[in-house]
């Protein structure tokens, strides 16, 4: 695996592959890699000749300075995982490279970045869009891969690509879960043993809601049931919503459609977790 730290280095490496007729797939990450990330690498390998992964913890998408400080970092372990997975190129830029001056550029996606995560993390998706735009400009891939777990991020990146005319095909990969159903996340490593055991409530809430809606329950009943599951629990619910996956607007009827998705977020201890599940899967 070729490791590049500068823009010129990675662009030279990619240009050489382009000269040889290779297509390029790109998997942007913030490191602390797990099997969910590796599933993106594997999906990208099926689509393109060469796979580029980036590891960069983007400061502009963090609302909480403490969260940025505590975000897990283990580049040595990440490199080993990527090499084992057969990744071709790793890009590891520094803050000085990605933000050589203090950026004042902001993105506004209308209602799309004001709901769900956007309601609790103002300007988060502006930071995501900014760094993804920079990375797309640097790598110029044919394909890019993102996980379904960050559904709102995926929806916004699709909008970004459409609006800015990036010639990139965006691909999503389904959520990878632990044996008890907990969605794989870099933040799971910050949970203590008791918190980790109790964190499964987020997955259990989704499956409970899925069963209720499939059996004919209405929106109000389903949301109330999920809220009751968290009463007296170690985890704290921030939101549970039933939306469509195109514009993330609440769905109030006709739930049994392939674009209906259940979204949930909350805290357990000091760790914030998100998850989602399509009603028909």
Residue 47 known to bind ligand: no
Residue 189 known to bind ligand: no
Residue 176 known to bind ligand: no
Residue 61 known to bind ligand: yes
Residue 144 known to bind ligand: no
Residue 281 known to bind ligand: no
d(CA 78, CA 110): 36
Two tokens, residue 27: 């998997």
Residue 78 known to bind ligand: no
Residue 21 known to bind ligand: no
Two tokens, residue 236: 């704290």
Residue 85 known to bind ligand: no
Q: Is 37 a catalytic residue?
A: yes
Q: How many CA atoms lie within 13 A of 104 on its CB side?
A: 0
Residue 147 known to bind ligand: yes
Contact 195, 169 (CB under 8 A): no
Burial class (CB in 10 A: 0-12, 13-18, 19+), 281: exposed
Residue 209 known to bind ligand: no
Residue 37 known to bind ligand: yes
Residue 98 known to bind ligand: no
Residue 32 known to bind ligand: yes
Catalytic residue among 22, 37, 124, 252: 37
Residue 36 known to bind ligand: yes
Radius of gyration, alpha carbons of the chain: 19
Residues flagged as binding site for ATP: 30-37, 147-150, 184-187
Query: Which residues are part of a known binding site for (R)-pantoate?
Result: 61, 153
Q: Which residues fall in the annotated binding site?
A: 30-37, 61, 147-150, 153, 184-187
Residues comprising the binding site for beta-alanine? 61
> Catalytic residue numbers?
37
């Amino acid at each position: 695996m070729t490791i590049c730290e500068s823009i010129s280095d990675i662009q030279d490496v990619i240009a050489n592959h382009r000269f040889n007729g290779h297509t390029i797939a790109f998997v942007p990450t913030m490191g602390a890699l797990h099997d969910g990330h590796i599933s993106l690498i594997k999906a990208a390998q099926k689509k393109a000749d060469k796979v580029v992964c980036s590891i960069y913890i983007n400061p502009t998408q963090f609302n909480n300075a403490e969260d940025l400080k505590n975000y897990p970092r283990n580049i040595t372990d990440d490199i080993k995982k990527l090499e084992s997975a057969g990744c071709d190129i790793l890009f590891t830029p520094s803050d000085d490279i990605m933000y050589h001056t203090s950026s004042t550029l902001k993105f506004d996606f209308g209602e799309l970045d004001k709901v769900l995560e956007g309601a609790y993390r103002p300007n988060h998706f502006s930071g995501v869009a900014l760094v993804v735009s920079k990375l797309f400009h640097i790598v110029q891939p044919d394909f890019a891969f993102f996980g379904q777990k960050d559904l709102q991020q995926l929806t916004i990146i699709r909008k970004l690509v459409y609006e800015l005319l990036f010639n990139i095909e965006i691909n999503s990969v389904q959520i990878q879960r632990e044996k008890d159903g907990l969605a794989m996340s870099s933040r799971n490593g910050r949970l203590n043993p008791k918190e980790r055991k109790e964190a499964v409530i987020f997955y259990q809430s989704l499956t409970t809601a899925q069963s209720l809606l499939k059996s004919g329950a209405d929106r109000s009943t389903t949301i109330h049931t999920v809220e009751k599951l968290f009463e007296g629990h170690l985890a704290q619910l921030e939101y549970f919503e039933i939306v469509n996956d195109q514009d993330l607007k609440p769905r109030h009827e006709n739930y049994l459609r392939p674009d209906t998705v259940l979204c949930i977020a909350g805290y357990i201890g000091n760790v914030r977790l998100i998850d989602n599940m399509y009603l028909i899967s």
